[in-house]
Structure 1
Amino acid sequence: MRFIDEVYELYKGHFNGDEEDITAVVVGVLHEQTRDDLLELVEGMDEEELFHMLATYMIEVMKRKVAMEDEQFPAPLVH
């Protein structure tokens, strides 16, 4: 995706491989975008990019839900 390539080129000297750095840059860039800007990005995606984006999002949301449920109702220890 061209937008990601542009963001990467702009910030590549700021990344040290730490996921927190990448997250901070992505969140910061997205906060600067309007809803229309974001929809335009999505509309510009090909089918594979759109599928990958939604799959990644859904997987992460499911992981968080499972983790939250595990915190609320820890599995009993089996001996």
Structure 2
Amino acid sequence: MRFIDEVYELYKGHFNGAEEDITAIVVGILDEQSREDLLDLIDEMDGEELFHMLATYMIEVMKRKVAMEEEHSPSTMAH
């Protein structure tokens, strides 16, 4: 995706490999975008990019839901 390539080139000297740095930069950039800007980015994606974006999103949401459920459900193991 061209947008990601441009962001990477702009910030590549700021990445130290820590996921937190990448997350902070991405969230900061996306926070500055309007809904229309975000939809334009999606519209530029080919089918494979769109598939991977949605798959990644859905996987992460499911992981959070499972983790929250496990955190709130009583333990089934007897001690």
TM class, shorter-length: over 0.9
1:1-79 matched pairs, under 5 angstroms: 1-77=1-77
* Greater RCO structure (CA 8 Å; 6+ sep): 2
Deviations 1:17-68 (A, max 9, x none): 0000000000000011111100000000000000000000000000000000
Distance 2:2 2:13 in 1: 18
Shift of 1:78: 5.7
Q: What TM-score do you get using the length of structure 1 for normalisation? A: 0.95
Shift of 1:75: 3.7
What percent identity do the matched residue pairs reach? Answer: 77
* 4+ runs deviating over 3 angstroms: none
Distance 1:7 1:77 in 2: 48
Aligned residue-pair number: 79
Shift of 1:77: 2.0
Q: What TM-score do you get using the length of structure 2 for normalisation? A: 0.95
In structure 1, stretches of 5+ residues that fail to align are none
In structure 2, stretches of 5+ residues that fail to align are none
State the one-letter code of the partner of 1:37: D
Distance 1:65 1:13 in 2: 35
SS in 2 for 1:28: helix
Q: What's the RMSD between the two structures over aligned residues? A: 1.2
Shift of 1:71: 0.3
